[in-house]
Structure 1
Amino acid sequence: MARRVIIVTAVHVPSAQFLPDAYKSICEQELPDDWEWRWVIQEDGKTDQVSPHVPDSDERVVFRQGRPGGPGVARMMAMAHADGEYVKVLDADDQLAPGALARDLAALEADASIGWATSRVLDFLPDGSTAGFPGDPDAGPIEPGEVLEYWKANGFRAQVHPATLFVRRDLLLALGGWMALPASEDTGLLMALNATSRGWFSPEVGLLYRKWPGQATSQPSHMEAAERDARMAVVEARARALADLGWSYPAEGQWRTGTS
């Protein structure tokens, strides 16, 4: 039986229009012969406006709905169907770059001390062009605490993007997954991962990050000062608490070879 990577996507009505592009980018991924992917799409709500955009003839695609609670809640509900060893995040309006899944998988399969992987991102602009930005870390391992300290020192902007995360499923669940926040829930997960485990950065482009007017991070509410300060404070507090408790992955004597 093939081993499995689960791609988890939270979607709401405005972003559903981009699901076909996301699906195309997944279908273009290549994995080793003994691996397969499954795409779990979780609607943040229960409407009849998302399902028409979901591929209905591919048994590798699972679509579920639930009470609205934001993308973090939707992703956590999707984890009920994440029956694989690894979880790859893909937002509904983004696209995987060629080779992204295979590179992430290779990094974690090669080193049992690596708990998660990230990769370079290009902004995908409305006119179809792309734009990069400086500040990527060196290729290879990311040691515990590196992302947290960089994020804290650089205006709460991490040098790796949480939308590119590829994570061991058991590690993601042990940390409680995405934080219960109105935004920055993925940053909260990234900081918790970095507080407890080694990561990996691939310098090859792994994600096209769509910029469009309906994007949640482009809304004025996302940058409202009081809420943003509170979000950043609790993200940092969680990460530092995990580090102070001394919990790390893998647990002592628990070196893994990719099985969960």
Structure 2
Amino acid sequence: MTRRIVVVTAVHAPSAPFLPDAYASLRDQRLPGGWEWHWVIQEDGTSDAVAPYVPADTRVTFRQGRPGGPGVARTIALSEADGSYVKVLDADDRLTPGVLARDLAALEADRTLGWATSRVLDVLPDGSTLGFPGDPEHGPIERGAVLDHWAAHDFLSPVHPATLFVRRELALALGGWMALPASEDTGLLLALNSVSRGWFSAEVGLLYRKWEGQATGQAAHLDKAERAARMAVIEARARALATFRWTYPDRLDPLVHSHGHSHSHGHSQPPGGGKRGGDGL
């Protein structure tokens, strides 16, 4: 893999006008020497409405495909993921300065970490921001901790899946995003937490836009029967993974051993230094 972070964005026509703001937040990121980013924008459909908002930048790849929801769009975008890491950026959200470097530093410093997340602020229609109480402490997140919190708090995650930064091979090994109409990003996050340790940065890493057209605000997203079914399959998958002996990294991984880390100890402190299922689009 190259020293590249692949930023994956699923987009549909209603959210396309926000792409320039997302691009500006990505363009302002600063990475360590030798590292670069590649932005893969995958339209969930084949309309003519998205392309006009895609920036003319050689570091940007725009793809289209038949509609299948944000999980399908992100997963098929992994075909263009030619880097060591994958970062999620929803079309209507913005990265905060330095977040890519902080995510990268966390996982480069400790090979026992499979993924990273960070604090989120909601951006309300009037431009004001709103944080959340109860963020986890800055530092490692042990296997199972996200699932335990989620199950005990009415399926609310202690960290936001829209901030996910993950090792590419680990995301692929778990099949990418779940084949669900929504909560597909929560499903991947809980699967990751079932097999690997993660990292939470207490510094704000994402500005999460609240607006009337977002998928999570639609009536279908709140249907009780569908929500119960989504949560049931997400939990069943995560618990099934937790019962298997496979973990990341493998306990016999010689590279981890040579670095002095074990599977459940050796909490390093990378340089630097919520919430509730992003559900995409």
- Residue of structure 1 equivalent to 2:5: 5
Is 1:55 aligned with 2:55?
yes
Matching residue of 2:259: none
Identity, in percent, stands at 71
TM-score normalised by structure 2 residue count: 0.89
Rounded Cα–Cα distance in structure 2 between residues aligned with 1:137 and 1:255: 31
Q: 1:218-233, aligned counterparts within 5 Å?
A: 218-233=217-232
When residues 152 and 70 of structure 1 are mapped into structure 2, their CA distance, relative to the original with a 3 A threshold, is same
- Report the TM-score when normalising by structure 1: 0.97
Gaps of 5+ in 1: none
Question: Partner amino acid for 1:230?
Answer: A
* Structure-1 separation of matches of 2:254 and 2:92: 36
Report how many residues are paired. 256
Name 1:37's counterpart in structure 2. 37
Deviation at residue 255 of structure 1 after TM alignment: 5.3
* Contact 1:112–1:255 (8 Å) recurs in 2: no
- Separation in 2, partners of 1:144, 1:128: 36
For each residue in 1:177-204, what CA deviation from the matched residue of structure 2 results, as whole angstroms up to 9, or x when unmatched?
1000000000000000000000000000
Give the gaps of 5 or more residues in structure 2: 257-281
How far does residue 2 in structure 1 lie from its aligned partner after superposition?
A: 6.5
Distance change in 2, residues 1:43/1:113 (3 Å): same
* Runs of 4+ off more than 3 Å: none
Give the distance between the partners of 1:63 and 1:35, measured in 2 at CA.
21
1:180-191 alignment to 2 at 5 Å?
180-191=179-190
Is 2:108 the partner of 1:106? no
* CA–CA distance in structure 1, aligned partners of residues 22 and 252 of structure 2: 39
Q: Determine if contact 1:13/1:50 at 8 Å carries over to the other structure.
A: yes
State the one-letter code of the partner of 1:223: L
Corresponding position of 1:162: 161
Query: Contact 1:8 / 1:87 at 8 angstroms: preserved in 2?
Result: yes
Name 2:268's counterpart in structure 1: none
Q: How does 1:115-154 map to 2 (within 5 A)?
A: 115-154=114-153
Query: Superposition pairs for residues 211-250 of structure 1, below 5 Å?
Result: 211-250=210-249
One-letter code aligned to 1:153: A
Cα deviation digits, residues 56-80 of structure 1 (max 9, x gap): 2x10000000010000000011100
CA RMSD of aligned residues (A): 1.1
1:83 has 2:82 as partner:
yes
Tell me the equivalent position of 1:70. Answer: 69
The residue matched to 2:83 in structure 1 has which SS?
coil
Preserved CA contact (<8 Å) 2:5 2:87: yes
Cα distance between partner residues in 2 of 1:3 and 1:171: 16
- Aligned partners of 2:41 and 2:77 also within 8 Å: yes
CA contact (8 A) 2:2 2:84 kept: no
Q: Mapping of 1:166-181 within 5 angstroms? A: 166-181=165-180
Instruction: Determine the C-alpha separation between the residues in 2 that align with 1:255 and 1:203.
Output: 31
Give the C-alpha shift of residue 256 in structure 1.
4.8
**Quick check: 1:2–1:34 contact (8 Å CA) kept in 2?**
no
Instruction: Verify the 8 A CA contact 1:2 1:36 in the aligned structure 2.
Output: no
CA distance, structure 2, for counterparts of residue 107 and residue 222 of structure 1: 34
Amino acid corresponding to residue 252 of structure 2 in structure 1: G
Verify the 8 A CA contact 1:120 1:203 in the aligned structure 2: yes
